[in-house]
Structure 1
């Protein structure tokens, strides 16, 4: 879904998010649509992008460059339990970021229902990271929000690659060398962060898209009437 949404933002002709719903690119750049809590959403998107960039670095370190699900990752040699446990730790770090986002912004954005937040003391660290990433930026800019979503929806495909690699039959070479318990633990953490994107990120993005489509449809009606 996030890949499809990104296409609607980057392709000159927009794209389909379902078989029946086509979203023109202009929907995202139109003026006059008043989205709520844009500054908070820009902050959330910025911190997730930063965390995913860190995760990508770790993925390249442990699995090599390339797509881990296609088997095209350029391996770095022997991979075993030590590397597997280190990768699990990085996934846990990312999961902690997700918990911090929900704890700090879930209530205000009206998202996160069904996502159980683990107790964390990472709140202050999260706040400082937000401030560093967004310092000097126009957080109320819808353009900054959409630009951030384009970047986020590209980076998040890393999680999809790993999910496909670990659930494919047979298991992709990138994960085949790991002990079974390491694969089970990685699968569990990947499913949890997938739930986060479904119940938090996609919830507020789809809500905003609905509002933008409604505004765009009204503009089209006005144009036709004229």
Structure 2
């Protein structure tokens, strides 16, 4: 996700593999008709909101800074109570992920097998959903890409926590937590990664493939002229 975001924000684009360079213009070219754009913009907006809340709780519990680098502030006062509060917020985030798949997965052809049981929106999730359905022109490629930039930036929080809990020795931010709390956090962070792999990256890579194909055809036309 970090590499994909670089291709969107850098004026020269970026490499997402050693052989594939994606120019920034790929994301902003006119005339691209991506499928189910309204649903994708809604999903991205909902996830950004959920990750912003998770970031706030992470800062409250672990302190500001990168938890995997050992630079987070407030280390030393984290125990079971704080760990259980963090687990609770990870549960809430996974509830949002499950809700996204249950409500949008079929339409977007993503997330098969991710949700273990049928999930419905709670009142809180419903309000978050409504926030991204009212008063906006959701059928906008520019709004979609803007949302992806924000989402991929926010998602780095999950990467930081995953590195912190998996590092050997465990990062200072997690060293004061009981083993069972650490193990539970590890499981929930892995499930978050599975969600981004099976849902978000699935439809984003599909869209990128379509955009690259259109961009290549444009380049062929320019060369011919």
How high is the TM-score relative to the length of structure 2? 0.97
Deviation per residue, 1:2-57 (Å, 9 max, x gap): 00000000000000000000000000000111100101000000000000000000
Structure 1's 9 and 41: CA in aligned 2 closer, same or farther, altered over 3 A?
same
Q: Check if 1:35 corresponds to 2:28.
A: no
How high is the TM-score relative to the length of structure 1? 0.96
> Equivalent residue for 2:137?
138
> Equivalent residue for 1:99?
98
Q: Secondary structure of 1:216's match?
A: helix
> Equivalent residue for 1:190?
189
Task: Note the aligned Cα RMSD (angstroms).
Answer: 1.2
Q: Secondary structure of 2:114's match?
A: coil
Report runs of 4+ in structure 1 exceeding 6 Å deviation. Answer: none
Unaligned runs of 5+ in 1: none
Aligned length: 225
CA contact (8 A) 2:101 2:115 kept: no
The CA distance in 2 between the partners of 1:104 and 1:148, in whole Å, is 19
**Where does 1:3-14 land on structure 2 (aligned, <5 Å)?**
3-14=2-13
Structure 1's 200 and 69: CA in aligned 2 closer, same or farther, altered over 3 A?
same
- Per the TM alignment, residue 129 of structure 1 is displaced from its structure 2 partner at its CA by 1.6
- Per the TM alignment, residue 77 of structure 1 is displaced from its structure 2 partner at its CA by 4.7
CA contact (8 A) 1:12 1:25 kept: yes
CA contact (8 A) 1:104 1:123 kept: no
> Equivalent residue for 1:126?
125
Q: Which stretch shows the higher mean deviation, 116-125 or 82-91?
A: 116-125
> Equivalent residue for 2:158?
159
> Equivalent residue for 1:89?
88
Unaligned runs of 5+ in 2: none
